[in-house]
Amino acid sequence: MEFSLSHMWAEMGLFAKLVVGTMALMSVASLVVMFERIAVYLRSGAESVRFAQHMARVIEGGGVDAAAKESLQKNGGHLGRTINAGLVALKTAPSDKDVAIESVARALERQAAREVQSFKRGLGVLATVGSTAPFIGLLGTTMGIVNAFQQMAKSGSGGLGTVSAGIAEALITTAFGLLVAIPAVMAFNFLQGWIDARAVDLSESSNEFLDQVTKHFAR
């Protein structure tokens, strides 16, 4: 079998073509998720930085009271949405200090959890592709070897020329499985690490904002 995509595709059996087609769809799905998530993360990160700089100036100038009077920014990224949830809770909190602080803390925690969960959207596709693509390729490999033995049985000889097409088909499906799985696993690990880092950032920022709320009620 020549090492060209067109010739290899022409020489493949129906089952091997189904395996390769399935893995091609899986590869496209993982690439779409990968680039969409990266775009979302970059945009949210940039918006969060701008929100943090703006809110830091507001709190430094007028404290939590000034921050609570600010019109809530719609494009504040994951950080903006989390802190805004705390500001909304602060505006509607009762006058009791302990109850108000607890209400703000719960609002921050709930929104932070929502943001982390939102970031994980689509990562299941990458995990599924990364874990199943090698096995789908192995299925094609198994069937290719079966075909090779069938050709050997039909010809009545065990020469290399008789079984080479089936073995090559088997190896090709294995290679496709690995080519699909490796980028998906790498992307999943990278994106999951980014999410873990942002979860820590949200926790630290929420605690810093809660410290400002506590100082506000301590006056």
| Per-residue model confidence (pLDDT) at position 72 | 64
Q: How many domains does the chain have?
A: 1
Both tokens assigned to 3: 């090492």
pLDDT at 205: 92
Taking Cα atoms as reference points, which of 207, 217, 1 lies closest to residue 86?
207
User: What are the strands, taking DSSP E only, across the chain?
Assistant: none
DSSP one-letter code for 70: S
- Note the pLDDT of residue 1: 45
DSSP string of 176-208? HHHHHHHHHHHHHHHHHHHHHHHHHHHHHHHHH
Select from 31, 72, 42 the least CA-distant residue to 54: 72
- Check: CB of residue 203 under 8 Å from CB of residue 135: no
At 69-124, the pLDDT tens digits run 776 666 789 999 999 999 888 888 777 888 888 999 999 999 999 999 999 999 99
Closest CA to 151 of 168, 135, 175: 168
> Can you give the pLDDT at residue 165?
62
Between CA 127 and CA 11 the distance in angstroms is 31
Q: What is the pLDDT of residue 166?
A: 64
Q: What is Dmax (Cα atoms) for the chain?
A: 95
Closest CA to 209 of 41, 70, 56: 56
**To 10 degrees, the CA torsion angle through 128, 30, 22, 135?**
-40
Give the domain range for residue 99. 5-218
Segments in the chain below pLDDT 50: 1
